[in-house]
Amino acid sequence: MAVYLLRRLALAALVIISVSAVTFVVARVIPSDPAALYAGQRPTADQIEAARERLGLDQPLYAQYIRFLGDILQGDLGTSYKTKHPILSDIRTFLPATLELVIVSTLMALLVGVPLGVFAGARRGGGFDQVTRIASIAGVSIPTFWLALIFQLFFFGALKLLPLSSRMSNSVALFNTFPTITGFYLIDSLLAGNLVAWRDAAWHILLPAFTLATYPISLTLRMTRAAMVETLSEKYITAARAQGLPEHDVLFRYALKNAIIPTLTVLGLSFAYSLTGAFLIEVIFSWPGLGKYVTDAILNVDFPVIVSATLIVTVFYVFINLIVDIIQAVLDPRVALR
């Protein structure tokens, strides 16, 4: 297990360094003048040249990258050329909103996709199986942005049931304030005992989270169903049923224990997918998260923000996959031998 863990850690470090290098180079070769952006509106040639020297943009590309890595190791993500704010401070402000949205959508995928996959696998070829298979195919095929617009038109425009955008209603945010502890509205409002704010935050996150969860739910459902179909054909399942065990216990206590391993991999990948997929959802639902921050940076060609945000997402992606690999190795020791 120790060798397996060290191998996975080395691979994770290699992925992070490779992504940071590629993103850094691509951001630098984009046709733009970051020094002019940093110098402000209508800068003179001398101001642009001074900004270029101050930012180290006059140095060779490899020297700039080495300096960038050195700053990263010291916990410094740099400064936004547009806002002049420390990027780490901005990310601390915007990241919790994105993480809250992604975590809720992943929980939806777990709580909806796994049970549906279990029942679909147990009823292979039946009507329920056919319906869920069609729904899962549609879920992985329909573009998320189109689905978000349809949901907005239906749940807000037609039914007037769910809010259209933002994390909280203006009236609730004005008259039902609560201290910021984690940056997660659902947690902070609950810790403060502010149930009015909690209900409003939950109501607002429901539609964007479900939209973001559509793809992971469908993927989780399909993977769980396929694993259940294979597991339910094993002899120990036949023996358990022959002993008269309740079908619910057979499915969820015995079959799911082995079938859940590939599903965990899918959930880990879905979490990472949701981190990047959330960017577009945040724009559509006016969700003030990392997606809005990065979108503004792209429009302004603020490449320190672009590189730093990409690095943050990569670290989360690698970390989640590392955790999934460890869980798999614990559940199935044969994984560590591969």
Chain segment 72-125, per-residue pLDDT in tens: 888 788 888 777 788 888 888 899 999 999 999 999 999 999 999 999 988 888
Which of these ranges, 25-39, 47-61, 203-217, has the smallest mean pLDDT? 25-39
Which of these ranges, 92-106, 174-188, 321-335, has the smallest mean pLDDT? 321-335
Task: Let me know the angle formed at the C-alpha of 170 by 168 and 175, rounded to the nearest 5 degrees.
Answer: 100
Residue 161: both structure tokens together: 């049931």
Amino acid at 57: L
Residue at 206 is within a domain: yes
For residue 144, the model assigns a pLDDT of 87
The more confidently predicted of residues 77 and 216 is: 216
Residue at 294 is within a domain: yes
Confidence tier at 187 by pLDDT (50, 70, 90):
very high
The domain total for the chain is 1
Residue 275: both structure tokens together: 């981190």
DSSP 157: I
Confidence tier at 338 by pLDDT (50, 70, 90):
low
Residue at 46 is within a domain: no
Residue at 318 is within a domain: no
Percentage of residues in the chain with pLDDT exceeding 90?
24
Residue 305: both structure tokens together: 């923000």
pTM: 0.82
The more confidently predicted of residues 213 and 317 is: 213
Residue at 109 is within a domain: yes
Instruction: With a cut of 70, say whether residue 42 has pLDDT above it.
Output: yes
Residue at 100 is within a domain: yes
Summary count for the chain: helices (H), strands (E): 16, 0
CATH code of the domain covering residue 292: 1.10.3720.10
The more confidently predicted of residues 8 and 30 is: 8
Confidence tier at 1 by pLDDT (50, 70, 90):
low
Which of these ranges, 6-10, 27-31, 50-54, 69-73, has the smallest mean pLDDT? 27-31
For residue 334, the model assigns a pLDDT of 61
Q: What own/partner pairs with CB < 8 Å and gap ≥ 24 does 321-330 have?
A: 321/12, 321/268, 321/269, 321/272, 322/8, 322/9, 322/12, 323/268, 324/264, 324/265, 324/267, 324/268, 325/8, 326/5, 326/8, 327/264, 328/261, 328/264, 328/265, 329/1, 329/4
Q: In whole numbers, what is the pLDDT of the chain averaged over residues?
A: 84
For residue 108, the model assigns a pLDDT of 92
For residue 333, the model assigns a pLDDT of 65
Confidence tier at 3 by pLDDT (50, 70, 90):
confident
Pick the closest to residue 199 from 210, 186, 209, 211 (CA basis).
186
For residue 233, the model assigns a pLDDT of 83
Which of these ranges, 31-40, 270-279, 328-337, has the smallest mean pLDDT? 328-337
Cα distance between residue 273 and residue 313, in whole Å: 10
Residue at 197 is within a domain: yes
For residue 31, the model assigns a pLDDT of 64
How confident is the model over 125-135, as pLDDT tens digits? 888 989 999 99
For residue 54, the model assigns a pLDDT of 76
Which residue range(s) make up the domain with 292?
91-299
Residue at 229 is within a domain: yes
Instruction: With a cut of 60, say whether residue 68 has pLDDT above it.
Output: yes
How confident is the model over 231-256, as pLDDT tens digits? 888 888 888 888 888 887 888 887 88
**pLDDT (mean) for 198-210:** 94
The more confidently predicted of residues 319 and 149 is: 149
Cα distance between residue 4 and residue 15, in whole Å: 17
For residue 249, the model assigns a pLDDT of 81
Cα distance between residue 321 and residue 327, in whole Å: 10
